[in-house]
Amino acid sequence: MPSTYRGAGTQAGTRGHKGDRDVQRIVVRLLGALDVSYGTERLTVPAGRPRALLAALALRHGELVPVEEITERLWGADPPAAARTTVRGHVKRLRRVLDAARDGAGSVVDGERGGYRLSRDRVTVDTTEFRDRARGATALRAARPDAEAVALDRALDLWRGPALEGIDAPSLHRDVVPSLEELRLRVVHRRIAIGLELEDPADHIPRLREMLAADPLQERFWAQLILALYRSGRPAEALREYARCRRLLGERLGVDPGREVRELHQQILVGGPALTAAVRPGAPAGGLGRYVPRQLPADDVPFVGRSDELAALDGELLGDGDGRAMDFTGRVLLLDGPAGVGKTALAVHWANRRRELFPDGQIYLDLAGFSTRRPMSADDALHALLVGLGAAGHDLPAGTYERSALLRSALAGRRILLVLDNVLRPEQIRPLLPGPAGITLVTSRNQLRGLVVRNGARRLTLTPLGLEQAVVLLQALLSDTHGTEPDSLRELAALCGGLPLALRILAERAALRPEVSLARLVGEIRGEREPLGTFQLGEDSTDLRTVMSWSLRGLTDAAARLHNVLAQNAGVPVCPADAAAVLGVPERTAALLLDELAQIHLVERHSSDRYRLPPVFLAHRDRRLQAMTAGRA
């Protein structure tokens, strides 16, 4: 039998059904191949029109069926001349089979007033039983959905295959079978709907796939399949099935899915609260429903200072509270500042420090905005984040919009932290923002003004460490290799311009030469022709010149030329008019170039209309670094 018919073939009206007045009834089954029995005895109805006659009477169980209707059922529009006589002959043959089984206890086919009737008292028909059970289930809907589910299962148990299978009666297949099949589909749909609310949705996915394999144009089952997959923690598959539904309907009918399927798709894309509330806590970890990521890098040790910045981050989320009632409403926090100032270190330190506030996980991603690597695209970033949440990479949708929507759905309603490090520009991460859920902490050398304007990001700009904090960090880094040399420590800290990266590089350089005093190290550094040569250890990420050059790489040629002019003039503040005169461009253009440099912290505002190189850049002025911008002029 077709796999969409899962009935056990329960014998309608046989022994054990409460309320039967006569348990010894003939049972006629039409929900599948014709089957007639009396007790344990299987009865054989002659093939051809006697079977069609029995079906015609059984489908009007207990009702008088006029001879004219029977004639039409048996022969259609071309009955024989002696149709009434022939009908009587088929009735006699049917009675011989059915009445003989009852051993003369009264006929089961009554003839009266120009028609025939199949007895309700002596015959049970599964189509009648199916309708009765379906109506009984509906009566339980409001008060007892669990009991309704049991009643619906009993109704569906009667189905063994397609109704009237093997019976040659075209008018019955045309006029009656479709209504029976539609009622079956409604019962199946309602039964699955209950299951999606009260049971494990995953248990209903196989049946839904079978229903759609039998009739792929049934949109109601597409909607349930998509919902079942989503609530089973498999949103990527849910979106893929929506795409398959849309493609199939377009190819076969030239239409888009109906309103129910479209609205369900939209709810998944935006992480609709009704869908989120229905996700079961026991959803399989193979999807995105239960996996808890712990991706934070190791914290910098030692971490010194930044007490004000840590307090500011706490204040953005906690206010005066302790985090138990923290508002996870898609907040975006931005840490920006110049190269080497410690943005990543602060973000990771704070995230590790407040790990308990994010029980559903912490996700970390380096977007490579300023590095030797190619900046990560939004598509690649979405792939990395979704895989980090437990999705199978080969199952992810292809488009940026679909992946972004899937990420929002996966994060909806979760107390989760997303750390997006080293961001180049706002459009790189807009598709990654989790919508009305979670907390996103972003770091960048770029001020990302568009993220503030369009996405409501709260900005915290990091500046270099003060001299005292720099000394404390340097002392902590050097404690095992050098004794205390206060004056030399202060000079070394000053040479680093307050940059934590420079301090760490210098401390490692000193640790490699424990026999050299700090005073001698200071002298060596002051005597070097290329200051930034001091701050390199043979690796790009720990080479201060290289790290700073990443900020220069994205400049326009005109901005690079202006930056070189500022560097050559030892940081003398300039206004747009001064810059315009030097570059030979309109003052408005010069103002825009200064603003371009300011956005990535290569200049800072000195007064209302004047800009200069930041002290940290002046501390590390380097001819090779200046040559990078001079060569762009």
Residues 311 and 253 in one domain: no
Residue 481: exposed, middle, or buried by beta-carbon count in 10 A (0-12, 13-18, 19+)?
A: middle
Structure confidence by residue, pLDDT tens digits, 396-406: 777 888 888 88
Question: What torsion, rounded to 10 degrees, do the Cα atoms 366, 369, 370, 375 define?
Answer: 100
pLDDT: which is higher, 532 or 367: 367
Q: How confident is the model at residue 338 (pLDDT cuts 50, 70, 90)?
A: confident
Residue 21: which pLDDT band, with cuts at 50, 70 and 90?
Answer: very low
pTM, two decimal places: 0.55
Q: 50 and 154 in one domain? A: yes
- Domain presence at residue 496: yes
Q: What is the band of 509 on the pLDDT scale with cuts at 50, 70, 90?
A: confident
Give the pLDDT mean for 284-296.
60
pLDDT of residue 278: 38
Backbone torsions φ then ψ of 576, nearest 5 degrees: -55, -35
Helix intervals (H) in 254-399: 259-270, 273-278, 307-318, 343-353, 378-388
CA 517 – CA 108 distance, rounded (Å): 115
Residue 279's pLDDT is 36
Residue showing tokens 């300011």: 598
Helix pair 145-156, 177-198: axis angle to 10 deg: 140
> Is residue 352 over pLDDT 80?
yes
* 455-504 tens-digit pLDDT: 888 999 988 888 888 888 888 887 655 556 777 788 877 877 788 888 88
* Angle ∠(284,286,289) on CA atoms, nearest 5: 60
> Is residue 299 included in any domain, yes or no?
no
Q: In terms of residue numbers, what domain contains 558?
A: 545-630
78 vs 532: which has the higher pLDDT: 78
Please say if the pLDDT value at position 277 is more than 50: no
Q: For position 374, which CATH number holds?
A: 3.40.50.300
Phi-psi region of 254 (alpha: psi -120 to 50; beta: other; left: phi over 0): left
Instruction: Let me know if residue 91 belongs to a domain.
Output: yes
Give the other-Cβ count within 10 Å of 24's Cβ: 14
CB 337 within 8 A of CB 392: no
- Total domains in the chain come to 5
Are residues 276 and 380 both part of a single domain? no
Averaged pLDDT, 615-627: 50
- Same domain flag for 11 and 148: yes
Residue range 367-379: mean pLDDT, rounded: 86
Share of the chain above pLDDT 90, in %: 33
Q: Are 63 and 127 in contact (CB under 8 A)?
A: no
Q: What is the CATH number of the domain that holds 228?
A: 1.25.40.10
Answer yes or no: are the C-beta atoms of 387 and 393 closer than 8 Å.
yes
Average pLDDT over all residues of the chain? 81
pLDDT of residue 533 exceeding 80: no
Let me know whether 24 and 170 are in one domain.
yes
Give φ, ψ of 224 to 5 degrees. -70, -35
Residue 537 lies in a domain: no
Name which residue leads in pLDDT, 372 or 528: 372
Whether 592 is covered by a domain: the verdict is yes
User: Helices 259-270 and 235-253 sit at what angle, rounded to 10 degrees?
Assistant: 150
Of 461, 490, 509, the last residue of a domain is 461
pLDDT band, very low/low/confident/very high, at 182 (cuts 50, 70, 90): very high
Same domain flag for 158 and 44: yes
- Establish if 532 belongs to a structural domain: no
* 44/143 same-domain check: yes
Q: Are 327 and 446 part of one and the same domain?
A: yes
Q: Which of 461, 478, 495 finishes a domain?
A: 461
Check residues 224 and 358 and name the one with the higher pLDDT. 224
Q: Per-residue pLDDT tens for 184-212?
A: 999 999 999 988 888 888 899 999 999 99
Residues 2 and 28 sit within 8 Å (Cβ to Cβ): no
Per-residue pLDDT tens digits for 426-446: 999 999 988 776 789 999 988
CATH assignment at residue 54: 1.10.10.10
Structure tokens at 571: 């940081």
Q: Render 538-588 in DSSP notation, one character per residue.
A: SSGGGBHHHHHHHHHHT--HHHHHHHHHHHHTTT--B-HHHHHHHHTS-HH
Determine the average pLDDT of the residues in 329-341: 85
Apex 526 CA angle, 520 and 530, nearest 5: 125
Is residue 290 scored above 90 in pLDDT?
Answer: no
**pLDDT band with cut points at 50, 70 and 90 for residue 172:** very high
Please indicate, yes or no, whether residues 186 and 212 belong to a single structural domain of this protein: no
More confident residue, 56 or 587: 56
> What strands, in cross-sheet order, belong to the sheet with 362-366?
362-366, 417-421, 439-444, 331-336, 458-461
**CA pair distance 60, 63, nearest whole angstrom:** 5
Instruction: Average the pLDDT over 590-602 and give the result.
Output: 84
Same-domain status, 520 and 572: no
Tokens for 391, please give them: 């999705």
What backbone phi and psi angles, to 5 degrees, belong to 52?
-65, -40
Instruction: Specify the pLDDT at position 435.
Output: 74
Of 461, 486, 501, which residue sits at a domain end?
A: 461
Instruction: Report pLDDT for 532.
Output: 46
Q: Considering the domain boundaries, does residue 302 fall inside one? A: no
**Would 252 be classed as within a structural domain?**
yes
What is the per-residue DSSP string for 569-582?
A: TTT--B-HHHHHHH
Q: What strands lie across the sheet with 115-118, from one edge to the other?
A: 65-66, 115-118, 109-112
> What local confidence, expressed as pLDDT, does residue 44 receive?
92
Spatial distance between the Cα atoms of 242 and 226, rounded to a whole number of angstroms: 7
**From CA 231, how far away is CA 293, in angstroms rounded?**
20
CA distances from 283 to 103, 212, 228, 396 (A): 58, 23, 11, 18
Shared-domain flag, residues 108 and 153: yes
Q: Taking the mean position of all CA atoms in its chain, how far away is CA 34?
A: 48
What is the arrangement of strands in the sheet containing 35-38, beginning at the earlier edge strand? 41-43, 35-38, 26-29, 123-125
Could you tell me if 457 and 473 lie in one domain? no
Cα gap 455→435, rounded to integer Å? 10
Greater confidence, 244 or 572?
Answer: 244
Cα separation, 361 vs 288, in Å, equals: 12
